[in-house]
Amino acid sequence: MQKTIAKTLPGFMELLPEEQVLFNQMRKTIQETYEKFGFLPIDTPIIESTEVLLAKAGGETEKQLYSFTKGDSNLTLRFDLTVPLAKYVALHSNEISFPFRRYQIGKVYRGERAQRGRFREFYQCDIDVIGDGELNIINDAEIPSIIYEIFRKLGLDNFCIKINNRKILNGLYESIDAKEVSESIMRTIDKIEKIGIEKVKEELRELSLSEENIEKIIKFITIKGTTDDKLKELQNLNIKNETYLEGMQELKKVIEYIRLFNVPEDYFSIDTSIARGLDYYTGTVYETFLNDYKSIGSICSGGRYNNLSEYYTDKKFPGVGMSIGLTRLFFILNDIGLIKSNKKSISEVLIVSMISDISSAIEIANKLRQANINTEIYFDDKKIKAKFKYADKLKIPYVIVIGENEIKTGKLTLKNMKTGEQKECDLEEIINKLHN
Amino acid sequence: MQKTIAKTLPGFMELLPEEQVLFNQMRKTIQETYEKFGFLPIDTPIIESTEVLLAKAGGETEKQLYSFTKGDSNLTLRFDLTVPLAKYVALHSNEISFPFRRYQIGKVYRGERAQRGRFREFYQCDIDVIGDGELNIINDAEIPSIIYEIFRKLGLDNFCIKINNRKILNGLYESIDAKEVSESIMRTIDKIEKIGIEKVKEELRELSLSEENIEKIIKFITIKGTTDDKLKELQNLNIKNETYLEGMQELKKVIEYIRLFNVPEDYFSIDTSIARGLDYYTGTVYETFLNDYKSIGSICSGGRYNNLSEYYTDKKFPGVGMSIGLTRLFFILNDIGLIKSNKKSISEVLIVSMISDISSAIEIANKLRQANINTEIYFDDKKIKAKFKYADKLKIPYVIVIGENEIKTGKLTLKNMKTGEQKECDLEEIINKLHN
């Protein structure tokens, strides 16, 4: 028979089981933390009508879409979880309770240029709080506390959540009459970590800004010191613009509450160079960096927006949220060795039988499973060495051996696969041990 | 601004959060049971190369495919989790340990005719045990014990796992020289529950079978009595065909071991009319029915196959597995009222503040979350009645009220939203109560 070559498409992550276990652990940590903060799950289709997904058309994304027709329908695979949320809220606004705290973890699709560490199918893990008409600013401070808790639980301890507010950026540009070029300015200063101050100045000159105003911008984006120093300096810039002052009020409040939410001072900071996309966010914005690996870019970003569902409804739904790109994050953490190498198996114990009658093994497995212990029986008629090798490869921590002797005495041999230690135990002892 | 109509495509399930919580609970029960039996997770892409997915082409499925091109690539959304598994095993056979016990829970796509209860995007929850060259028959008996445990845990108690073996079917047809029409016979007898015996006979006559052989077939598919009666009767048919005898040996062994795996007699039975698809399965086959709702069809099916990856490799990988169509199952159980109406919220407690300073509320939330209690704070400045209504709608079981009095005394008011009972407690009491 002519064989087809088994292959997986480039840009699509497909893990071996032992890595998948680690991936799923990360996913579970994220999900459990979202639930701990009272977020409700939703699960929207991966395929949506193209018209619905592209209600807000344009931009880079459109080129990357997976779009196709089926019958009379123009269909597109979702490229993020925000547009589906906007649709969901517009569609179900009469049936959901506001403020609507929702999380969604699911795959999204972008036909990016294939290169190492870039994925065309990847998991996003999003939370958003959506208000009906209005939404309290304290929500903007709770989000960073969730980011903090997740990354600590994922075993990271050298990261920083950078916080800014789009209103102080916009206010600054309004105050120097540079509102029309504000997007270009933001795009430029967004690159400061990459290209440095001098290159930023050069690009700003190309926007026909005066040297004075360029200095003002540079001063603004390079303020230093503690968070309180920065708040003071931003105040002292003495910018008498309403938007700026409103942004300052919000930023101060967000900082005040982040502290109340117990995020330690080392794990957040004000960063006035962060703009975060260009037309979506309207207030608080966040990015999260690994201090030792800044070149990776932000590993968790988000912010406040005025009007989630404006392309579908006249109702106003302001919101604040953040997103973790789990597939890329897993790839990166694995790559730089920050995922604990302490690989865990699914099975807690493997039962191997030295005798051909396997009924005792099944009986014991029944009891262990009743006690909620993940248990596997090795059924195949292999040499004992092969059975131990299997447990070893799968990193199953314990093996129970059943032989004629065990049947006679009613005691079981429990082997610790890590230490090699063997012990005669009865089943109850084993259950107690494995429950720890 | 011109608005786009927010809509979800027909045939795509999109639940409200309170239903999503129930759906996710079912999914979690299935996943945890798979892990309890030592199955390892994998997660393959939703998009595969069309060539790979259609290595084994043809059949009904092909018309239903979501296929499209992107650049030079012909792509297709997976329509099941079995073909991706066949690819995965062929591709990674040198890196995985056999027997390979894997589970996968994910969405698959079939462009079925839109009708109530039929979905174009749906979750499948699959387990399979794959052997390298050979696979012990006891695996065929463990699968029903997993089906049994899952459905009991999902709160169902009136269901039956029907078991058959393709070899006894094939052996029977060989013995009456009807091998060439065996697929047509199986397709006919598969319908016996729907169309009745007489209609089955009629259709068999159309296949030019002698009356004697038709009687033999009817006798075979209508054997009655206990499982042991049936085994005896099948023996007594006195069919001297090697395939038949091999199938009988397997069936007997599977029944023997199902009992050892503690599946009660009421929850499984031999059903010789079940054939389960036509060219994939080669031995044991299962279907699972709700006794009170047989017209729904099988809610969990599977079986043994000889050669999982034959379209990709010359290596032989026999396997046995089963699949639960979760989306349809959820829809059905919800529809007939078999999902426990005991709706659970994500948040265990909502904190509402009667005073404008919300810092005490945050402090308490921090402590509850540290104690792993899912906690939400109501931030918006609404009337107390609106805050309670929110808790009520979301079915949050407890509300903690913080007012001036609570700040003064250090005691908190805990309201049980079900009974309406209010109690003054300190935080430790609340944590203990909510941990139960």
If you write DSSP's letter for every residue of B336-382 in order, what string do you get? Answer: TT-S------S-SEEEEESSS--HHHHHHHHHHHHTT--EEE--S--
Local structure of residue A127 (DSSP, 8 states): E
Interface contacts A/B by beta carbons within 8 Å: 250
Question: Prior bond to A99 cis, omega within 30?
Answer: yes
* ipTM, interface predicted TM-score of the complex: 0.94
Contact A346 B38 (CB under 8 A): yes
Q: Which amino acid appears at position A244 of this protein?
A: Y
Rounded to whole angstroms, how far apart are CA atoms A231 and A249?
A: 10
Summarize pLDDT for A162-210 with one digit per residue, the tens: 999 999 999 999 999 998 998 889 888 878 878 889 999 999 999 989 9
Q: pLDDT at position A60, please?
A: 58
**What distance in Å separates residue A337's CA from the closest CA in chain B?**
21
Picking from A4, A347, A362, the nearest residue to B51 by CB comes out as A4
**What distance in Å separates residue B169's CA from the closest CA in chain A?**
27
Give the mean pLDDT of B371-399: 94
Give the mean pLDDT of A68-95: 96
How large is the C-alpha radius of gyration of chain B?
27
Residue A330 predicted with pLDDT over 90: yes
Q: Which residues of A touch B260 (CB under 8 A)?
A: 359, 362-363
Q: In chain A, pLDDT over 90 holds for what percent of residues?
A: 81
Higher pLDDT residue, A383 or B277?
Answer: A383
SS3 per residue for B241-274: CHHHHHHHHHHHHHHHHHHHCCCCHHHEEECCCC
Q: Which residues of A touch B373 (CB under 8 A)?
A: 36
Contact B4 A311 (CB under 8 A): yes
Average pLDDT, rounded, for chain B: 93
Which of B15, B24, B32, B37 should we substitute to test contact with A (largest number of A Cβ atoms within 10 Å)?
Answer: B37
Contact B36 A109 (CB under 8 A): no
- Distances in Å between the Cα of B5 and the Cα atoms of A88, A310, A311, A313 are 11, 11, 9, 8
Average pLDDT, rounded, for chain A: 93
The predicted model scores a pTM of: 0.95
Contact B47 A66 (CB under 8 A): yes
Residue A57 predicted with pLDDT over 70: no
**What distance in Å separates residue B359's CA from the closest CA in chain A?**
7
Other beta carbons within 10 angstroms of residue A361's beta carbon come to 23
Q: pLDDT at position A115, please?
A: 86
Q: Which residues of B touch A261 (CB under 8 A)?
A: 362, 366
Local structure of residue A114 (DSSP, 8 states): P
> Searching chain A, which residue's CA lies closest to the CA of residue B89?
A6
Would the CA dihedral through A423, A424, A429, A431 be positive or negative?
A: positive
Q: Beginning with the edge strand found earlier in the chain, give each strand of the sheet holding A73-77 in spatial order.
A: A47-49, A73-77, A67-70
End-to-end CA distance of chain A: 52
**What distance in Å separates residue B15's CA from the closest CA in chain A?**
7
Picking from A4, A21, A46, the nearest residue to B121 by CB comes out as A46
> Searching chain A, which residue's CA lies closest to the CA of residue B390?
A97
> Searching chain B, which residue's CA lies closest to the CA of residue A137?
B379
Q: In chain A, pLDDT over 70 holds for what percent of residues?
A: 97
Contact A37 B374 (CB under 8 A): yes
Q: pLDDT at position B189, please?
A: 84
**What distance in Å separates residue A238's CA from the closest CA in chain B?**
29
Rounded to whole angstroms, how far apart are CA atoms B434 and A171?
A: 47
Q: pLDDT at position A40, please?
A: 97
Q: Which residues of A touch B358 (CB under 8 A)?
A: 138
Contact B374 A24 (CB under 8 A): no
Which of A15, A19, A29, A37 should we substitute to test contact with B (largest number of B Cβ atoms within 10 Å)?
Answer: A37
What are φ and ψ of residue A167, in 5° steps? -70, -35
Local structure of residue A344 (DSSP, 8 states): -
Contact B379 A138 (CB under 8 A): yes
Contact A8 B45 (CB under 8 A): yes
Half-sphere exposure of A17 (CA within 13 A, CB side): 27
Summarize pLDDT for A200-238 with one digit per residue, the tens: 999 999 998 999 999 999 999 989 999 999 999 999 998
Question: Prior bond to B99 cis, omega within 30?
Answer: yes
Contact B5 A312 (CB under 8 A): yes
> Searching chain A, which residue's CA lies closest to the CA of residue B70?
A66
What ranges make up the beta strands (E) of A149-219? 159-165
- In sequence order, the 6+-apart residues with CB closer than 8 A to the CB of A20 are B40, B41, B42, B43
Summarize pLDDT for B198-225 with one digit per residue, the tens: 999 999 999 989 999 999 999 998 899 9
- The model's confidence at residue A341, banded by pLDDT at 50, 70 and 90, is low
Q: Are B318 and B305 in contact (CB under 8 A)?
A: yes
